[in-house]
Amino acid sequence: VSARDLGVAVVGAEGRLGRFACALIEAQPGLRLVARLGRGAEVGPRARAAGATLAFEATRAGSGYANARALLAHGVRPLVATSGVTDAELAALDGQARELGLGGLVVPNFSLGILLLQRAAEAIARHVPAVEILELHHERKHDAPSGTARASAARLEALRPGPVPIHSVRLPGLYAHQAWLFGAAGETLTLRHDMHGPEAFGPGILAGLAYLPRALGVARGLEHALDLG
């Protein structure tokens, strides 16, 4: 750990994703975990007082906006993992950050595989418009369809006419899986992504944290942190 390392606060540090992020940050040269914050903490002042310039926020759906606002107000750049940040909230965070000369990023899914799957699906959908999404998750995931499947379908619906049907499966033994089935006369094409554990989020979280110091404003999507060519 050197004095030049970037200080990172984790908000929601006792949660599943927060614990994973803490271990990831502690093991990453150039980053220093300076605060593990939980519910009830004054996240902005606490992160600032601990010396954080960056924060990883993974709490409860709907809390991402308030936490990101408080962090920005105290000069800390947020990487928001929490689901449920609306477009209006994103616009408000973007305006706040630009006024302060700061940046942040909202990332609904840190998996590089999912991002590449979406990119490939968008390229295929231009030529094969008939597509349905099958999303399969462990039985403890209560929301269906998943936010990732809904967002992916919305991206495809902007490219081709008609709704994209989503089918959800919840079973023990599964983790997080998606299959996209494209159909045309006499042939089908299937894209499939299988996630087996939170390690899949590691490279995306590190790319997001590396992007924050140069970010101006707050955007949505891991692609902003990556050079996808």
User: CB-wise, 80 or 102, nearer to ligand NAP?
Assistant: 80
Residue 175, token pair as written in the block: 């983790």
Cβ–Cβ contacts within 10 Å for residue 188, how many? 10
CB of 88 to ligand NAP, least distance (A): 18
Q: Of 121, 105, 124, give the one whose Cα is nearest residue 113.
A: 121
Q: Which of residues 2-31 bind ligand NAP (CB under 6 A)?
A: 11-12, 14-18
Cβ–Cβ contacts within 10 Å for residue 62, how many? 13
Catalytic residue among 141, 167, 177, 224: 141
Scanning 60-146, the segments in alpha helix (DSSP H) are 64-73, 87-100, 112-125
Q: Which of residues 79-108 bind ligand NAP (CB under 6 A)?
A: 81-83, 107-108
Q: 111 exposed, middle or buried (CB, 10 Å; 0-12, 13-18, 19+)? A: buried
User: CB-wise, 28 or 83, nearer to ligand NAP?
Assistant: 83
Residue 90, token pair as written in the block: 């994103």
**Residue number, nearest CB to ligand NAP:** 15
CB of 64 to ligand NAP, least distance (A): 7
User: CB-wise, 38 or 183, nearer to ligand NAP?
Assistant: 38
User: CB-wise, 31 or 37, nearer to ligand NAP?
Assistant: 37
Residues in CB range of 95: below 8 A, 6 or more apart: none
Total number of residues that touch ligand NAP (CB under 6 A): 23
Q: Which positions are catalytic?
A: 137, 141
Positions that interact with ligand NAP (CB under 6 A): 11-12, 14-18, 38-39, 58-61, 63, 67, 81-83, 107-110, 201
